[in-house]
Amino acid sequence: MTSHASLVRTGQLVADRYWLVKPLGGGGLGRVWLARDRTDDRPVAIKRCALPEGLAPEAGGLFFAWTVHEARELARLRHPNVVRVLDVIPDDEPWIVMEYVPSRSLQDVIDESGPLSPLRVAEIGLAMLDGLNAVRRAGLLHLDIKPGNVLIADDGRAMLTDFGPAVTTVGLRALAAAGIVLGSPKYLAPERLIDGIGLPESDLWSVGATLYYAVEGRPPFARPTIDATLLAIAGERPDPPRRAGPLTGVLAGLLRHRPADRLTAGAAGAALSEIVLEPVDGPAGLAWRRRPSRERVGFAVLAAVVTALLAVVTVLAQRSGGA
């Protein structure tokens, strides 16, 4: 199957509706453009899908058929921490229309400014888990969480975007049966690497690897080659973090090798909420001061909030008693 991505031009009208304005970026599975919806003149992001490198051309029809099917499943999802799919246009190389969010990727933020503070990373982690919880309630998976697929919007929100081509277990099995197992090697959970399976816990591993990168400035298995990275993921523990401070336990819990041993989304969210809601002493005498998060703290459910508040009250009471 021949790619037509190079034939796409600024000013092109797609599906008699979307004017292409300018390219926004791209990767191994397609290129994203800023476009304008002529029906209401609003900006949208539109992705021209492409075959992954190395995929046999005869597998292209199956791959794109499932890409369209799975994108339509995603279009049912509505959540402030997940970029919305607005339209799906079947084609020999399909188009996926998404809401346009003025933003930078987490990858770009770190490339430009360096690693983030544990407090900020905890806020981003809460937003990611909040969005991921909505994904899971819809019976879907992401399966390509990485710093490049987390947007930091101009209004401060963190949002999941650019899901894998298979977001349902049926779609995942169909692609796996054809020998298609996709993902970003540095953020790929061990069970995806070894067995080719995808689970909700696989997304949690990728959340952990992404947060590790955000606070450390490098992935948890930093090796000189992809092969060495994959071998480390398959059989080694993550490199000990140096900057994570109060995040260390959460990262270790999300990056456990066996899916059943990993922190649940709820437990990880509660731990991150405590970091956001309370001052925590860090290495070298540093402290991350308590301040309200600008993110939706969906995983700071009542039980977690009450626990955190009780802890603060207890500490204050102890300090008052000792004064």
With CA atoms as reference, report the closest residue to 47 among 13, 81, 94, 9: 94
What pLDDT does residue 311 have?
37
**Per-residue pLDDT at 300:** 40
SS (H, E, C) the chain: CCCCHHHCCCCCEECCCEEEEEEEEEECCEEEEEEEECCCCEEEEEEEECCCCCCCHHHHHHHHHHHHHHHHHHCCCCCCCECCEEEEECCCCCEEEEECCCEEEHHHHHHHHCCCCHHHHHHHHHHHHHHHHHHHHCCCCCCCCCHHHEEEECCCCEEECCCCCCCCHHHHHHHHHCCCCCCCHHHCCHHHHHHCCCCHHHHHHHHHHHHHHHHHCCCCCCCCCHHHHHHHHHHCCCCCCCCCHHHHHHHHHHCCCCHHHCCCHHHHHHHHHHHHHCCEECHHHCEECCCCCCCCCCCCCHHHHHHHHHHHHHHHHHHHHHC
Q: What is the CATH number of domain 5-99?
A: 3.30.200.20
- Is the Cα torsion angle 186, 74, 105, 212 positive or negative in sign? negative
* pLDDT profile of the chain (323 residues), mean per 10: 59 93 83 95 94 77 88 94 95 93 96 97 98 95 94 96 87 80 85 87 97 97 91 92 97 97 97 83 47 40 35 33 36
pLDDT computed for residue 62 by the predictor: 84
How many other C-beta atoms lie within 10 A of the C-beta of residue 168?
18
- Domain residue ranges of the chain, discontinuous segments joined by +: 5-99, 103-320
Residue with tokens 């991505």: 5
pLDDT at position 279 is 53
* Integer-rounded Cα radius of gyration of the chain: 21
Question: What fold does the segment set 103-320 form as a domain?
Answer: Transferase(Phosphotransferase); domain 1 (1.10.510)
Distance (Å, whole) CA 250 – CA 268 = 6
- The encoded tokens of residue 222 equal 């930093």
Contact 201, 132 (CB under 8 A): no
pTM (predicted TM-score): 0.82
> Could you tell me which of 119, 150, 99 has the C-alpha nearest to residue 278?
119
Closest CA to 42 of 93, 100, 88, 89: 100
**pLDDT for the residue 169:** 85
**Catalytic residue positions?**
144
For 260, counting Cβ atoms within 10 Å of its Cβ (0-12 exposed, 13-18 middle, 19+ buried), the class is exposed
